[in-house]
Structure 1
Amino acid sequence: MAILTTAILALLIAATTAVLLPQLIGHVLGLILRGAGWLIRRRTRSRREYVIARARSDEEELLKTLRAKNSTHSLARSSAEDEDWEKVDNTAGPAGVKASSSDDIGASDGAKRPDDWDGIIGFFHPFCNAGGGGERVLWEAVRATQKRWPKAICAIYTGDHEVNKATMLERVENRFNIQLHAPTVVLLYLTTRKYVVASSYPRMTLLGQSLGSLVVAYDAFTLLVPDVFIDTMGYAFTLALCKWLFPSVPTGAYVHYPTISTDMLASLDDQSGIQGLNAGAGKGLKGTVKRRYWQLFAQLYGWVGRHVDVVMCNSSWTAAHIRKLWGTGKDRASNDADTTTGKGTPSSPAVVFPPTAVSELESSIAVDAESEQSRHATLLYIAQFRPEKNHPLVLRSFARFLQERARNPAYADQPQPRLVLIGSVRHASPDETHIYNLRLLAHELRIRDHTTFLCDASWPAVLSHLGTASVGVNAMWNEHFGICVVEYQAAGLICVTHDSGGPREDIVVDLGDGATGFRAETEEQFAAAFEAALALPESEKVAMRLRARRSAQRFTEEEFSRKWLGQVQKLVEALR
């Protein structure tokens, strides 16, 4: 009997230990991390005070400059109006001029905003000078934040040491036509960005980059601890680290693309070779190991994502995957639910479509029968020069299209179509090698004379091509959204996009009045779509362009700002 009692007690002790020990370890680890966070806050307090003081000082200097300019302008205008008064109207007088001058100065001061929150919002975006769609989202988010909270400081954690703030903001204006208020923009330069570069991890890249992002995030926090921390590049692990170190700091994620997805897992069994870079890689022992590794990483990614306070996704496709990965219970299984709305939580992410210069494109580029005469048989592809954008598919499809067109005598006397590829290139990176290989491929396909590569083109240059091209192309498999596709639509181009991801789910869709473009998957389908788009009668071309332009109204900068601020407001309110 005593032996049985002892055995039962031993089992109870073992069971209790098995249950309580992990909780105890977790509690102790949490205390250690919070203690580390307290030390980081203490050590960075002086830098925080300096950042705030510098921003307020720059604000005062800018205000003085504006006042001086307004004063000079008012005096000059006053002198001119005095001369006109002597010649034309004896009833006008200095009083009227003085009032006008006073109005100008008052306008430079600006009206008081009802919301005077003056905290620091940290934007984690190590590659903010890349010039892609993700960077447009970042800078448009900063602009919207500045307008909503003029006293708040937007601190961007970046690894772009070669660019100072003045140059960065100038490039943002030239590339995206986004003007920012310089005094409240602060660039904090990271020294550890190399730890999130994919080329640093030839094996287990996903895990390596994710763990590396913890190092970069720690680097960011030792520079400055923000009041609100938002990741705008997709490094979810950084948000979890922020929560562990600083539980009181609200966190937000703008997810462009899930780090891992069920589509990626499914692509391992794809035999067509069109589903991304890992299509068909699930064969054999190596493929089995890769599949298991991805499955385990997906579980870890989901656990990390559930630490985020506010979640925004750039498309309904992304939101469906994030809800499935980051959600809990029924939310994780309900992948077929409507994703166009959401509460902004891991289980119900909010869809905030990226901002696109729809209004500017519509005002700058006409779409009618007359403007059709100025468009050329040009195919335009705007995308960063990176492997996932699948430029080779476009080049091969274009070569096939030209070959088939050359065999048709009806086109004998017509000018040859051209392909223009515009994109940003991250210098001192694999991008430069990639574009070199693309140029070689164009030469091998014998389309070099009909293909143009434009690297890091300015916004005016992009605008010019959007106004004269006829077809807009996008070939990325599971493009998370496709800002360039919306730009095509707003500019009146006929879209030919990959039949997957955001373009299929949100953009190139029939809204009830007809097709807004073409979708394709294979080289043959893309070549056929190029032919179909260019062969449309003029009246049908104009009609499709106008339908696409109306569709683009769903993706304006104003709509992005409204939804962005609605979610960030939750983070600001959490502080109060």
Structure 2
Amino acid sequence: MSVHDQLVLCLCELTRLLWKLMLPLLFLSVLLIAVLVLLVLAVRFWLQSSRNARRARDGRPTVAFFHPYCNAGGGGERVLWCAIRALQRRYLDINFVVYTGDLGVMGQQILDGARRRFNIVLPRPVQFVFLRHRLLVEPGLFPHFTLLGQSVGSVFLGWEALTEFVPDLYIDSMGYTFTLPLFRYLGGCRVGSYVHYPTISTDMLSVVRERNPRFNNPDYVSNSLFLSAFKVVYYCLLAMLYGMAGSCSDLIMVNSSWTLNHILSLWRAPNRTSVVYPPCDVSAFLDVPLEEDGDKKCHSIVSIGQFRPEKDHRLQISAFKKVLDRRREGAGAGRR
């Protein structure tokens, strides 16, 4: 037997062996997929049965807001309470639920805090569902791959919320986008979202591509070609998953034109996306006189914003310093 014939015989034997192994693997794969589909359908049926039983008991639909930090007292919380107040005034036959992770307080204490901080009093009570595993979305839990860790953690936290209470309409008001598919496809809910700040943006991708050191792109990453390339791939994959999760939303609201542009580029749902500007209470400013004091002439620059890394206050201070330095240089040249 020639070498060619031996090679052909070996290839035939190898093909037969692979085929014998392929059939059991294919059968096992089909079986696992079938079991997974049946499991998902069973969970969906269980959750929807729970919702239908609650709906029959209450006799009215329920809107639920996912806001694990509803007692924080920031701008996002003002949006939450203003939204609930507006909806309660318009829809008298709807119940409202807030998913929160603030375990150290009672529901009435949260409402009292909203009244003190924002001067917002709800027309009717709301039901609070207290979540025990808010730690899963804490950034400190994920020193590396923070965005991915928080996204995965939000899915588990969303699962806890869904199993505790199944609403008719689910609204993510804090940016946990990866909970949307959970409530839509498993809970059978209509879902909406209000986006304050995109989890990942094209600006973040450009910072990494250009290897600029920032708060979320440390020097050891920006100085390394390999780490920068790896981070670009990581961000691109995360952006793709983020867009897929966000596109599940039946209604998308964003807080600014800047956020709108990023969400449109990532979620690709222009027909369902609208800008809803955050509420601003200006009643306290109505008593401030608008007349200027003629004896006092000065130029003031006021910067308003929370002290958060993405605000990049250090860059703002550096820019102001350059303006002052140029002004001093101009004044010195004028004296000469």
TM-score w.r.t. structure 1 length?
0.47
Correspondence 1:352 to 2:276: yes
Which digits, 9 at most, give the CA deviation of each residue in 1:268-312, with x for residues without a partner? 134665x66327745421111111111111111122222211111
Correspondence 1:363 to 2:286: yes
Q: 2:329 and 2:95 mapped to 1: Cα distance?
A: 61
Which digits, 9 at most, give the CA deviation of each residue in 1:95-130, with x for residues without a partner? xxxxxxxxxxxxxxxxxxxxxx94211000111122
- Cα contact 2:114–2:120 (8 A) shared by 1: yes
Matching residue within 265, 269, 273 for 1:324:
265
What aligned pairs does 1:477-516 form with structure 2 within 5 A after superposition?
A: none
Structure 1 residues 290 and 46: CA distance shift in structure 2, 3 A: same
Matched letter for residue 128 of structure 1: C
**SS of aligned partner of 1:243:** helix
- Percent identity of paired positions between Structure 1 and Structure 2: 38
Matching residue within 152, 161, 165 for 2:103:
161
Could you say which residue in structure 2 is the equivalent of 1:218? 159
Matched letter for residue 217 of structure 2: N
Matched letter for residue 365 of structure 1: V
Structure 1 residues 190 and 378: CA distance shift in structure 2, 3 A: farther
- Cα contact 1:44–1:222 (8 A) shared by 2: no
Matching residue within 41, 46, 51 for 1:39:
46
Matching residue within 173, 196, 213 for 1:256:
196
Correspondence 1:277 to 2:228: no
Q: 2:193 and 2:331 mapped to 1: Cα distance?
A: 55
Q: 2:55 and 2:60 mapped to 1: Cα distance?
A: 13
Correspondence 1:145 to 2:87: yes
**SS of aligned partner of 1:291:** helix
Could you say which residue in structure 2 is the equivalent of 1:235? 176
Structure 1 residues 393 and 207: CA distance shift in structure 2, 3 A: same
Q: 1:189 and 1:376 mapped to 2: Cα distance?
A: 51
Structure 1 residues 223 and 237: CA distance shift in structure 2, 3 A: same
Could you say which residue in structure 2 is the equivalent of 1:130? 72
Q: 2:287 and 2:37 mapped to 1: Cα distance?
A: 55
Q: 1:261 and 1:45 mapped to 2: Cα distance?
A: 38
Q: 1:376 and 1:142 mapped to 2: Cα distance?
A: 42
TM-score w.r.t. structure 2 length?
0.77
**SS of aligned partner of 1:253:** strand
Specify every segment of 5 or more residues in structure 2 that has no aligned partner in the other structure, as ranges: 1-14
Matched letter for residue 224 of structure 1: F
- Cα contact 2:62–2:169 (8 A) shared by 1: yes
Alpha-carbon offset, residue 239 of structure 1: 0.8
Matching residue within 203, 227, 231 for 1:286:
227
Matched letter for residue 45 of structure 2: W
Could you say which residue in structure 1 is the equivalent of 2:149? 208
**SS of aligned partner of 1:146:** helix
Alpha-carbon offset, residue 141 of structure 1: 0.8
Q: 1:245 and 1:278 mapped to 2: Cα distance?
A: 36
Structure 1 residues 36 and 175: CA distance shift in structure 2, 3 A: same
**SS of aligned partner of 2:209:** coil
Matched letter for residue 181 of structure 2: A
**SS of aligned partner of 1:39:** helix
Q: 2:259 and 2:35 mapped to 1: Cα distance?
A: 36
Q: 1:352 and 1:229 mapped to 2: Cα distance?
A: 18
Alpha-carbon offset, residue 393 of structure 1: 3.6
Specify every segment of 5 or more residues in structure 1 that has no aligned partner in the other structure, as ranges: 1-6, 53-116, 332-341, 411-576
Matched letter for residue 234 of structure 1: G
Which digits, 9 at most, give the CA deviation of each residue in 1:380-411, with x for residues without a partner? 4443332222233445556677778889999x
Alpha-carbon offset, residue 194 of structure 1: 0.7
Alpha-carbon offset, residue 190 of structure 1: 0.7
Q: 1:166 and 1:41 mapped to 2: Cα distance?
A: 29
- Cα contact 1:35–1:245 (8 A) shared by 2: no
Matched letter for residue 318 of structure 1: T
Considering only aligned residues, what root-mean-square deviation do their CA atoms show, in Å? Answer: 3.7
Structure 1 residues 26 and 269: CA distance shift in structure 2, 3 A: same
Counting matched residue pairs gives: 308
**SS of aligned partner of 1:156:** strand
Matched letter for residue 260 of structure 1: I
Correspondence 1:193 to 2:134: yes
- Cα contact 2:196–2:255 (8 A) shared by 1: yes
Structure 1 residues 263 and 240: CA distance shift in structure 2, 3 A: same
Alpha-carbon offset, residue 322 of structure 1: 1.6
**SS of aligned partner of 1:364:** coil
Q: 1:38 and 1:24 mapped to 2: Cα distance?
A: 21
Could you say which residue in structure 1 is the equivalent of 2:185? 244
- Cα contact 1:47–1:224 (8 A) shared by 2: no
Structure 1 residues 22 and 218: CA distance shift in structure 2, 3 A: same
Q: 2:35 and 2:151 mapped to 1: Cα distance?
A: 24
Q: 2:204 and 2:159 mapped to 1: Cα distance?
A: 29
Q: 1:259 and 1:376 mapped to 2: Cα distance?
A: 40
Q: 2:185 and 2:68 mapped to 1: Cα distance?
A: 21
Alpha-carbon offset, residue 39 of structure 1: 2.7
Alpha-carbon offset, residue 211 of structure 1: 1.0
Alpha-carbon offset, residue 213 of structure 1: 0.5
Structure 1 residues 241 and 403: CA distance shift in structure 2, 3 A: same
Alpha-carbon offset, residue 363 of structure 1: 2.0
Structure 1 residues 49 and 176: CA distance shift in structure 2, 3 A: farther
- Cα contact 1:254–1:314 (8 A) shared by 2: yes
Could you say which residue in structure 2 is the equivalent of 1:385? 307
